[in-house]
Structure formats: C-alpha cells, structure tokens
Amino acid sequence: MGTPIRINRYLALNQYCSRREADKLIEQGQVLINGKPAVLGMLVKENDKISLRSGFKKVEAGRVYLAFNKPVGIVSHGPEGNQKSIGDIFRYKTRVFPVGRLDKDSHGLIILSNDGRITGRLLDPEFEHEKEYLVEVDKSIQGGFLKKMSGGVRIGDSLTRPCRVSPVGSNKFRIILTEGKKRQIRKMCLALNYVVKDLKRVRILNIELGNLKPGGHREIKDEELSLFLSAIGIRK
C-alpha cells in the first residue's frame, strides 16, 4: 500500500467488511488506527496499525446468505410504475439485498445477502465465475445453433465469451456462462434468430437452486457457504 487510502476502503480491501459496514463501525468507535479511534474519511498509511474492537464480531456474526427462487414478473432491482421487486414479495428477519440481477421475464436462483463484500467479487467478469441456466426457445434447435452459442455470439460491438452449451430437448438447452451482460442469453439467441420463451437460472458457482419453489428461499451455510466464499476469495 504505497498511497494512503481511506479507512473504509482499507477495511473492505482487506476483507474485514464492506465499506458501508466499515463506516458504521467507525461511527461506533470500533475501529482503531494506531490505538486511537478512527474518524470517517481518515486516510491509512502503510505503517499504520489497524485494529477493531469487539463490535466487528457482531457485524460478522450477523451476515446472512440466502438462495432465493425469483418468480417470473418480479424485478430484482429498481422497480418502476406498478412493478414489484423482490423486496415487495419477500421479507426476512434481517435486511438483505439481491447480489446481481435477473431480469423480470426470467426466474430462478438469485443470492440475497447483507454482506457487501461479495458483490464485486461475484459479479466482476474478470473472475469468470460460472452461472448455469436452462433455456427454452421458440422453435426446434437445428443446424449449428449450439456450436455458435458456445463459440461466442456478436452482440452489438462485442463478442460474448466462449461458453458451455448442451441440448436438453428439441427446443431446450443448458448454458454455463462466465460473464453476465444485460439480457445476454436472450440477445445471443435473438442474434441467431431464436426467441427465448423461458429462462431459468439454476446455479451460481456451487450454489444450486435445487427444489426451491418460486418465492422460496433457504439459508446458505456450513460447507456450502465456505466453498462459495472461498471461490470468490473471501474469508468466512
């Protein structure tokens, strides 16, 4: 760390907590710099000693990770007009937020959490984390459709990354992506003259949708959680 950085960014980069959590801890007097309470916006230099009081343990113990089956017609972020969001149909004892997006017309797995550390690590395409989908299109799959999908499809000015695609039925296929452009699968299919009729996300890394019903949830914990956090480079 050559250049001084803000204390909340330092704590986030070193995986203590998210920046928002860091600001709360600083306000509570739980963060110490060289033995003295930190102040919001304070800069940390290379030789500074950073420590946290017991308050950090309370934040850590309160982290929640849920697998949620988002129904069709529900938006994951920014509802407009009469649209309903996940927050409108689901309440948990601890406030959680969707990590990533799943468009209104799609359904399936989305992770809900109050751990701000995981957002960037999970969503940054640089890390190439796998997401798996089951897709139904409007007509029988013919010709080199699957080969073209797996090799990369041009969407606008960009070419999608190579991915894994396998048939499931005459007009259904499974696709595993390592990137997440907006409405990517729908646009890939449309570029090849197919229209998506149903799109269901069934896996994110090691987290599987399983038999969760629409609107249902389960807690991600124990070994499943450890594997997930380890895969995105975060300490439990």
- Asked if residues 7 and 44 have their Cβ atoms less than 8 Å apart, the reply is yes
Three-state SS at 56? helix
Alpha helices in 37-144 (DSSP H): 55-61, 86-89, 118-123
Helix and strand numbers (H, E) in the chain are 8, 18
User: Which position has the token pair 């996300």?
Assistant: 201
From 23, 48, 88, 103, active-site residue: 103
Residue ranges of alpha helices (H) inside 69-172 are 86-89, 118-123, 145-151
48 flagged as catalytic: no
d(CA 67, CA 88): 17
CA geometry: angle at 152 spanning 149 and 154, to 5°? 105
Q: What residues act catalytically?
A: 103
